[in-house]
């Protein structure tokens, strides 16, 4: 499946979340990631994220779609390097 | 069509962007919005956003899908009020 992931976590936890998400997805904006992922890997990611987050005040939203072609992306302004997940 | 919109703009321009996006979409996380929108309204939104943004350093990403049912949303942690766009 293809997902878009966005998080909003306290500054103290940002670097951990960023590092975690980059292990699974492509980083496309400040706290936004996208990519193809399996059901198992997604569960793993959500599990690790839940352990980093304070669920009382942090938020993680994941949009899932079966096929990437069902989503069309428009970028206005500055675009992150598409292979930023490899750096 | 149904869209997800995420922005990353300099602090100085955040309040203007937030106000603009809330006129068209539902606010679901810090800088993330979603909602049903027409082609015309989306063009209008992008036009206004471009005038607020400094496209050298700010970024706006829009994911479009023809039908909301093609996207499944998972929320972990704190969820914004679903009718926050009406406040």
* Pairing mode, strands B59-65 and B32-36: unpaired
Provide long-range contacts, Cβ within 8 A and 24+ apart, for A44-52: A45/A5, A45/A20, A45/A21, A46/B74, A46/B76, A48/A20, A49/A7, A49/A17, A49/A20, A49/A21, A49/B76, A50/B76, A52/A9, A52/A13, A52/A16, A52/A17, A52/A20
Tokens linked to A80: 């992150």
pLDDT of residue B86: 47
Q: Which residues of B touch A (CB under 8 A)?
A: 4, 6, 8, 28-32, 46, 49-50, 53-66, 70-80
Domains of chain B, residue spans = 2-68
The annotation places the binding site of A for Mg(2+) at 8
The residue with tokens 């093609």 is B70
B8 labeled part of a ligand binding site: yes
pLDDT digit string, tens, across residues A36-61? 999 999 999 999 999 999 999 999 99
Confidence grade of residue A24 (pLDDT, cut at 50, 70, 90): very high
Comparing CB atoms, the residue among B30, B64, B66 nearest residue A74 is: B64
What is the interface pTM, i.e. ipTM, of the complex?
A: 0.86
Q: In chain A, what percentage of residues exceed pLDDT 90?
A: 82
* pLDDT per residue as tens, chain B (87 positions): 999 999 999 999 999 999 999 999 999 998 999 999 999 999 999 999 999 999 999 999 999 998 888 899 999 998 875 554 444
Tokens linked to B24: 């068209």
CATH code given to domain A2-68: 3.30.70.240
């Amino acid at each position: 499946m293809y997902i878009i992931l966005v998080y909003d976590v306290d500054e103290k936890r940002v670097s951990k979340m960023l590092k975690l998400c980059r292990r699974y997805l492509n980083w496309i904006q400040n706290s936004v990631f996208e990519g193809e992922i399996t059901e198992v890997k997604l569960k793993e990611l959500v599990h690790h994220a839940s352990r980093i987050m304070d669920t009382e005040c942090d938020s993680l939203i994941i949009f899932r779609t079966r096929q990437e072609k069902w989503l069309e992306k428009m970028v206005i302004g500055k675009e992150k390097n598409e292979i930023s997940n490899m750096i």
